[in-house]
Amino acid sequence: RTVYLSGNFCPVEDATISPFDRGFLFAHAAYEVTSVYDGRFIDMEGHLSRLRRTLEGISIPNPYSDEQWAEIHSELVDKNGVEEGLVYLEVTGGAYGMRDFAGPETFSPTVFLYADARPLIGDLAREGIKAITLGDTRWKRRDMKTVQLLSQALAYRAAREAGAETAFMIEDGLVTEAASANAWIVDAEGRLITRELSHSILPGITRAGVASLLAASGLEMVERAFTPEEAASAKEVFTTSSGAIVAPVVALDGKPIGDGKPGPVTRRIQRLYYEAMG
Residues marked active site are found at 145
241 in contact with ligand PDD (CB under 6 A): yes
| b (16+ CB within 10 A) / e for 198-236 | eebbbbbbbbbbbeebbeeeebeeeeebbebeebbebbb
- The reply to whether 158 sits near ligand PDD by the rule CB under 6 A is no
Task: Tell me the closest approach of the beta carbon of residue 70 to ligand PDD, in angstroms.
Answer: 17
By the rule CB under 6 A, 206 interacts with ligand PDD = yes
Residues 79, 12: contact at Cβ < 8 Å?
A: no
Interatomic CA distance for residues 194 and 245, integer angstroms: 15
- Binding residues for ligand PDD, how many (CB under 6 A)? 14
Is 31 or 107 the residue whose CB approaches ligand PDD more closely? 31
Contact flag: residue 180 with ligand PDD (CB under 6 A):
yes
Strands (E), the chain: 2-5, 8-11, 29-37, 40-41, 85-92, 110-117, 129-135, 166-171, 174-178, 182-186, 192-194, 221-223, 236-241, 245-252, 255-256
Nearer to ligand PDD, 95 or 205 (CB): 205
Our finding on whether 151 is near ligand PDD (CB under 6 A) is: no
Q: Applying CB under 6 A, which part among 72-80, 98-106, 157-165, 236-244 lies near ligand PDD?
A: 236-244
Supply the minimum distance, in Å, between the C-beta of residue 17 and ligand PDD.
Answer: 20
Answer for the pair 7, 110: CB distance below 8 angstroms, yes or no. no
Nearest to 50 by CA among 30, 35, 74: 30
Question: Does 77 interact with ligand PDD (rule: CB under 6 A)?
Answer: no
Name which of 14 and 223 has its Cβ closer to ligand PDD. 223
Binding of ligand PDD at residue 177 (CB under 6 A)? yes
Q: Is 181 in the site for ligand PDD (CB under 6 A)?
A: yes
CA distance 206 to 46: 9
Stretch that binds ligand PDD, among 19-27, 92-100, 190-198, 239-247 (CB under 6 A): 239-247
Residues near ligand PDD (CB under 6 A) are: 33, 177, 180-182, 202, 204-207, 240-243
